[in-house]
A and B are shown apart, each in its own frame.
Chain A
Amino acid sequence: EPEVTQTPSHQVTQMGQEVILRCVPISNHLYFYWYRQILGQKVEFLVSFYNNEISEKSEIFDDQFSVERPDGSNFTLKIRSTKLEDSAMYFCASFPRTGGAEAFFGQGTRLTVV
């Protein structure tokens, strides 16, 4: 069964450092998303990406965040200057070509900012 793959599974970083979270979506999917989940809380939308550009972003997704698809397969989330409150699980998700169907989520990257 195809799956969304995220790396690393766990990243510890010092406050103020840059981190890049990586995702390999399912190959024929066209819509990509990043969500985050602060421990014990609900899953929150960060950004959606379609046709090599951001289609929607939440108020959480401020100037310190960026996304790109550098090589047509990987989908990355960069946090330029991490803050303590960025500590969370970050999930990548992709939708299939037909759209309107289920989102497939990766296993997540646990980001700990110290």
Chain B
Amino acid sequence: QQQVKQSPQSLIVQKGGISIINCAYENTAFDYFPWYQQFPGKGPALLIAIRPDVSEKKEGRFTISFNKSAKQFSLHIMDSQPGDSATYFCAATKGNEKLTFGTGTRLTIIP
């Protein structure tokens, strides 16, 4: 029940396109859903996060869509750029408890 499932495992998108990564969770007690971006050799860095009381959050080119009834949330990267090439992890948590991470998506933006 603690799992967070993430897809796809890898994604190749042309520059300027939209990158979409999906996650699904099981534990309805989760109340905070962050996305982390990780470059090779670096730690995960918070990109954007959402709480279940809203269905969408947008920060620049990054948008989280949240579907509470389906227990799913997704990250959309608009106008994808080569600098967005990284591994993206969705995560979920309740309060100050541990983050439960998805399995990660390796995103590659090609010119």
Write the residues of chain A forming the contact surface with B, with a CB cutoff of 8 angstroms: 4, 31, 33, 35, 41-45, 48, 50, 56, 58, 91, 93, 95, 99-100, 102-108
Contact = CB atoms under 8 A, between A and B. Distances in A.
Contact of A103 (B31, B42, B99, B102): B99
Contacts of A91: 43-44
20 contacts: A31-B96, A42-B89, A42-B104, A43-B44, A43-B99, A44-B101, A45-B98, A48-B98, A50-B96, A58-B98, A99-B95, A100-B32, A100-B96, A103-B46, A104-B46, A105-B43, A107-B41, A107-B43, A108-B41, A108-B43
A40 to B, nearest CB: 9
**Interface of chain A, helix or strand or loop or mixed?**
strand
Q: How large is the interface on B (under 10, 10 to 19, 20 to 34, 35 or more residues)?
A: 20 to 34
Nearest to B47: A102
A48 B99 CA distance: 10
A43 B44 CA distance: 9
A45 B100 contact: yes
Contact of A42 (B32, B96, B98, B101): B101
A56 B44 contact: no
A105 B36 CA distance: 10
A50 B96 CA distance: 10
